[in-house]
Structure 1
Amino acid sequence: MPERDDASVRRIHDAFSQRNFRRDFSRRGLHYIGLLDENGLKVPAIVSVDDLDFIRPPVICLTDPEAGSKGQVPHVLRSDGTFCYLDRKSVVLDRYKPAETIIQCLERADQVLRDAVRGRLADDLAEEFGGYWCDGEVLVDLPPSFEGDAKIHILRLDRYLEHKTIVVSHDKSRFAKLHRRNTGKDPDPGILCPVVLVPPLSFDPKQSWPPKDLAQLNAWLKKMAPNALGSIEAAFARTKDLHIQWICLSAPNGRFFVSAEIAKPYRTPEFLKNRRASISRTLDRIPAAVEISGYVGVPADEGYVFSRNLGHMKNLAGKRILLIGCGTVGGFLAQHLAQSSAGAGGGRLMLVDDDELQGANLGRHLLGAPYLTWNKAEACADFLGQQLPHLDIGFSCDSIMKQLAIMQRYDLCIDATGEEALSIALNDYAVRKRPDFPPILYTWLEGNGAAAVGFMSHDPDLACFKCLKVELAGEKRFRLLREGVEIETARNLPCGPSPTPSRKSSRASRLRRSRIARPAAYFWDATEARTSKY
C-alpha cells in the first residue's frame, strides 16, 4: 500500500521534527538524529524506523551512552549502544497512528533514561548484568547449587558444522556423546573451572567496564565478590603448561565466567612452568600480563531443561516407561515423553517396534528421509538421543510378543501400535498377571484419524481393554462418532513393502472411515467402568 506508506512517512517526519530531530540522509532508510531528554540529560541518539507497521519498535542507539550520566546505564548494550527502552511483547504500537507512536516511543525512552541515570533502575542493572559482561556463552550442565571444581569442554554438537560450543560440567558432560558421535573422537579432558558462589553481581556504571585485565578484575571482585578474589591466580597455580584459565562466578542473578589468558609476551617456559608454584605472586606483580574475557552461562542441565516449561507440574524424571509401537502415533508420543523428561533422573524410556521406516511413512512420521529402512524404534531412539542427550533411551527391534516379561519391569506401559489384535493380546497377558503388573495406556486413532482415543487400565476391580468390546465381532460399548453421521468405508492402501507381510497385510485389510462430521479426542479411564467377564 504505497499511499499509506507515503502518508506514514510524512507523519513520522513531522513527529520527529516536533522533537527537533533531523533526518540523516547519509544512510538509506528512515534515520533521525537528535537528543533524548532534550531539556535535561541531552543524550545524543539515532532513531531508526525500519518497520512502518510497528511490529518492531523503532531502534534507538545512543551515540554517546555516557552523556549526561558520566557512566553506562541499564538497558544499553555496550556492543553498539542500542537502547532497550520498550518490551515489544508487552506493548502494542498503533500502526494507524504513526506520528503518535513515534512520540510515544521517544517519551518512553526519555523516561527510562532518566530513571536509569537517577539510580531507579539499579535492580535492572543487576538483571541485565550478562549483557554488559558477555563476550560469549557457555552451556552450563551443572545443578543450580553446584560449587567446587568443574571442567570446561570444547565440544562439537552439530555433525555438519565446524562450530564448537563451550560446555561446563562436573566430570563428563552428557553432551560429550554428541561430540563423540559427530567427530569420532573423545572430547579433550577439559580445563579446570572452579565454581564459586557469590552474591548478586552488578557494577558501578560510572567506572570503566568491563574489566580487561587482572588488575581491573580484582578491583571489581574486591567490592562485589571478595570471596572470589584470587581464584584466577589459584587456578593457574593448580594447572600445568596452560596459558588460559577459567573460573565461574555463580550468583543469584546468573552464572558468569571469567576466561583469563596470559598475554603472548609472557607465554614462556620460565613463566608457565618453572614459576608455576609462585605464579600467584607473579601475576599480582604484573596484572597486565593476564587478559580477561567474560562469558555468560546458559542453563542446559537436566533439571532446567525438563522443568522450565512444566511450571509446578511433575515431570517423568525417575520413571521407567515402555512404549510399544513407534509409528505415526508412537513416534510423536516418544518425542513428547522425552520432552517431559522420560529417561531422566535415573529413569528409562524403552522403545519397542519390529517395523521399518518406509517412504510411505514420511508424510506423517516424526522421522524423515535420513532414517529410511531403519527400524522405527532404533531410529526414534537415535533421533531423540541427539536432541536430548540427557536421557537414557533404549530400544528393541523385536516384537513385544517375544518379550512380554519385560513389561513388568516398568512403571507404565504404553501400547501405541493401533493394532487391536495386539492390544487384546497384551491386555490378556496383563490381566493374567494382575495385581503384579503396571498400568497400561492404550492409544489409537479412529475414523481415519478423526478421533484420538486413550484408555488406561490398571485396577483389577475395574474395566480392562477387552471390556470396551465384549464380543470381538460385535459393536463397541462406547460409540465415538455422533449418531446419524453418514460414513463411507474404503479399503486402506498398504503403507509400503515390508519384510513382515503378516503385519502389513492386516494393516492393509483394515477399513478406515472417512467423511466424519467432526474430529474428536477421547481419554477413557477405567475408574468409571466395571469389569466384564469374557
Structure 2
Amino acid sequence: MVIPQLLQSIKPLGFRRKKSQDVSGYLAVEGALETRFGLVPCDVFIDRELRSFPTIILQQPLSELLLPFAPHVGPDGFLCYVAEGTVVFDMYRPISQTIAALKRAAVVLDQIMAKERVDDLEEEFFAFWRGDYCYTDIERPESGEVAALSLGKGQGLVFTDDLARAESKFAYRAGRVEALLGVTAKITTKVPPRPLIGAWPPKTVGELLDWQSKLDPPCRRKILARIIKAYRADKQAIVVVIDAPTIQYGFLVTDLQKYKRTSKADQGAPIFEAPIELMQMVRMDDRYIVGRNIPGQKTLAGKKIALVGCGTIGGYLADLLVKAGAGTGGGELQLIDNQKLAPGNIGRHRLGANRLELNKAQGLVTELKIGMPSANVRALPEDAFSVNLAGFDLIIDATGEQGLGNWLAGQQANGSLPNGGWQTPLLHVWIEGSGEAVRALLKQHRSEGCYRCLCDYEAEQRFLSVAGGVRPILAGGGCEGQYVAYPASVSVQAAALGLDAALAWVGATLWAPLSTRVISRAHDPATGDVTILPRPGCPACGS
C-alpha cells in the first residue's frame, strides 16, 4: 500500500510513474527539479524496498549551465545530492523522506547551476577517473622525470623520485622489485582536476589534451611536450603523473610509434590518436601519509627531535611522533635509552617478545622503520646524562624519572641546550601515581616555571593533578623487584598527551605549559591546564 501512497504524494511536485519499468527492484518516475534557472527534467528511481534514497538521473541533453564541468553530476547525468554515509534514509517514514530527497536534489542542482559548488569537483574526481591502481612516492614539487618500479607480476607499479626510498617502503611486497627508467614523467599543476560532462573519460591523447586545454592550458603544454619527447625518442609508451593540489592522477599513453608522419618534411608529431589508459594514483609519499589525518596543521616534518626514554611512555610516543612526521622531510628523531627490554616490560610496552633483551631504543628503531622505512629515526643506546643534547629543535623527556627531569631543567636554564634561540624547548611527559593521571610540562620561555619548580610546588601541595595528591602503589617483589602497577592504556594516554603538546609546539598554537588528564574516576581533578611561574629560589632554573 505504500507505493500507491508515495506516487500520490509526489504528484504535487510534478512527478509521475513512467510507462516503462525496466529497472529491476526500482520504481521509475519522471518529472523535473525546480531551480532558479527553470525546470530540469529528470528520471527518478525509487527503491521498492524503501531502504535507500532515490537515484536521480538528469535527462539528456544536459543544460549548458552544467557544461563542460559540473560537481556532483556524472557524465551520464547522475546527480549526487547527498553524501553516502552522512545521512540515513528512515525506512519508517519513506514518503516524507522521498519528498525531502527530491526537494534536496532541487536545491543542490540549483547551487550547481549557479556555480556555487565548484570546489566540490576535486573531492569527487576519482568517481569519474577509473583505472588501474598504482602507487606514487614523489616528494619533489617541480615537474620532471621520475622512475617506475615494478613490484613483480600482478603486484603493480610505483612511481618515485627516489628509488632507494621507494624500494624500502615496498620491500615487504612479494615479487622482485625492478627499476624502469625513462618511461615516466611527473607534471605539476595548481589547478584541481574536474571531470568533463559528456565525452568522458578521455580515450586518446587528443581528447585528454582537449580536456586540459579547458582546465589548465599550461599543463596541457607540459603534457604535450613530454609525450612528443617520448615519441621522438622512439618510445612505445609513456606514463604521465599529474600532481594537482591534494590529488595525483595519471595515464598511460600506448602505441606511440603506431602513428607515423606522412613524409620526412612533416615535422609534426602524429600522437593525438594514440590511446590512453587511465591510472589511479595512490599516494605513498611521507608528506601525504603524515599530513592526511591533520590537514591544515603543521606536522613534525623537518624538525630535529630527541626523545629521552624509550620505556612504556616513550615507546608509544615514538610511534606517534613518527606518524606525525618526525624523521621525515629532512628531519631526525633520535631515541635515547641505555636499557634493555626485560620480560616484565612486555605487558605494557610498544615492543614485544621478539625484541626481548635488546636495547629499547634500537628495538624501537627497527620496529618503527618497518612501518615507516623512509623515516630518519636513530637509536642512541647511552645514558642520557652523557649525551650531547645541543642543536635539537625539541627535547622530550619520557622517562618519568624526577632526577633526570631536574637535571634537564638545569641544562636548559644554564645554556647547555642551545638551538639558535634562547634554548631548546623541553617537554616532560609522565604518569602520576599508579595511573591516576597523566601530565605534560612544556617549557619554552624563561618566564615559565620549570620541571623542578613544579616538583617543589607539589611538595607544598600546589598544582596537584588530583585532589589530595597521589602515591604510587608498588607491586612485585623478590628477585623481580618492585614496580609501579598500571595498565598499558595509561601509557598510551600519556604518549597521546605528549604528542598533542608537541604538535601544539610545532604549530605555535595556544597550549598551557602544564597540562593534565585525569584518568581515574575515583579522583577529582585538582589543577586544570595552566601556566606555572618560576618558583623563587629554584635550584634548577635559578629563578
TM-score w.r.t. length of structure 2 = 0.69
Match of 1:58 in 2: 53
Match of 1:3 in 2: none
Match of 1:101 in 2: 97
Match of 1:405 among 387, 391, 396: 387
Say whether the 8 Å CA contact 1:152–1:192 is kept in structure 2. Answer: yes
Match of 2:304 in 1: 320
What amino acid does structure 2 have at the position aligned with 1:532? Answer: C
TM-score w.r.t. length of structure 1 = 0.70
Match of 1:216 in 2: 207
Within 1, Cα distance between the matches of 2:170 and 2:91?
Answer: 48
SS in 1 for 2:378: strand
What is the CA deviation profile of residues 296-354 of structure 1, one whole-angstrom value per residue up to 9, with x for unaligned ones?
55555444554555566544333211112223322232233223322233221111234
Matched, 1:46 2:37: no
Match of 1:294 among 263, 278, 285: 278
Match of 1:505 in 2: 481
Match of 1:416 among 389, 398, 421: 398
Match of 2:72 in 1: 75
Match of 1:159 in 2: none
What pairs up with 1:79-94 in 2 under 5 angstroms?
83-87=79-83
Say whether the 8 Å CA contact 1:462–1:529 is kept in structure 2. Answer: no
Within 2, Cα distance between the matches of 1:320 and 1:141?
Answer: 23
What is the CA deviation profile of residues 249-294 of structure 1, one whole-angstrom value per residue up to 9, with x for unaligned ones?
455695442211229xx78xxx99xx9xx9x97971x755x32122
Gaps in structure 2 of 5+ consecutive residues: 491-518
Matched, 1:341 2:341: no
Within 2, Cα distance between the matches of 1:520 and 1:390?
Answer: 43
Say whether the 8 Å CA contact 1:236–1:245 is kept in structure 2. Answer: yes
1:445 Cα deviation (Å)? 0.6
Match of 1:262 among 238, 245, 255: 255
Within 2, Cα distance between the matches of 1:326 and 1:145?
Answer: 35
Within 2, Cα distance between the matches of 1:122 and 1:460?
Answer: 49
Q: 1:415 to 1:232 in 2, by over 3 A?
A: closer
SS in 1 for 2:523: coil
What amino acid does structure 2 have at the position aligned with 1:507? Answer: Y
What amino acid does structure 2 have at the position aligned with 1:400? Answer: A
Q: 1:306 to 1:531 in 2, by over 3 A?
A: farther
What amino acid does structure 2 have at the position aligned with 1:37? Answer: A
Say whether the 8 Å CA contact 1:463–1:532 is kept in structure 2. Answer: no
Match of 1:530 in 2: 536
Within 1, Cα distance between the matches of 2:109 and 2:118?
Answer: 12
Within 1, Cα distance between the matches of 2:400 and 2:132?
Answer: 48
Within 2, Cα distance between the matches of 1:415 and 1:152?
Answer: 42
Match of 1:492 among 450, 470, 475: 475
Within 2, Cα distance between the matches of 1:372 and 1:51?
Answer: 58
Matched, 1:193 2:185: yes
Match of 1:445 among 431, 440, 454: 431
Q: 1:180 to 1:42 in 2, by over 3 A?
A: same
SS in 1 for 2:322: helix
Matched, 1:246 2:239: yes
Within 2, Cα distance between the matches of 1:210 and 1:514?
Answer: 57
What is the CA deviation profile of residues 410-455 of structure 1, one whole-angstrom value per residue up to 9, with x for unaligned ones?
2322221223344455556666764756443222111321211223
Q: 1:50 to 1:109 in 2, by over 3 A?
A: farther
SS in 1 for 2:202: coil
What amino acid does structure 1 have at the position aligned with 2:481? Answer: S
Q: 1:483 to 1:228 in 2, by over 3 A?
A: closer
What amino acid does structure 1 have at the position aligned with 2:255? Answer: I
1:120 Cα deviation (Å)? 7.8
Within 2, Cα distance between the matches of 1:142 and 1:344?
Answer: 13
Gaps in structure 1 of 5+ consecutive residues: 1-6, 157-161
Q: 1:455 to 1:123 in 2, by over 3 A?
A: closer
Q: 357-366 or 243-252, which moves further after superposition?
A: 357-366
What is the CA deviation profile of residues 472-493 of structure 1, one whole-angstrom value per residue up to 9, with x for unaligned ones?
xx946535255568x7874324
What is the CA deviation profile of residues 79-106 of structure 1, one whole-angstrom value per residue up to 9, with x for unaligned ones?
x975411235776766764321111112
Match of 2:510 in 1: none
Match of 1:230 among 224, 240, 260: 224
Say whether the 8 Å CA contact 2:130–2:279 is kept in structure 1. Answer: yes
Q: 294-303 or 449-458, which moves further after superposition?
A: 294-303
Say whether the 8 Å CA contact 2:248–2:281 is kept in structure 1. Answer: yes
Within 2, Cα distance between the matches of 1:529 and 1:116?
Answer: 61
RMSD between aligned residues = 5.0
1:148 Cα deviation (Å)? 2.6
SS in 2 for 1:441: strand
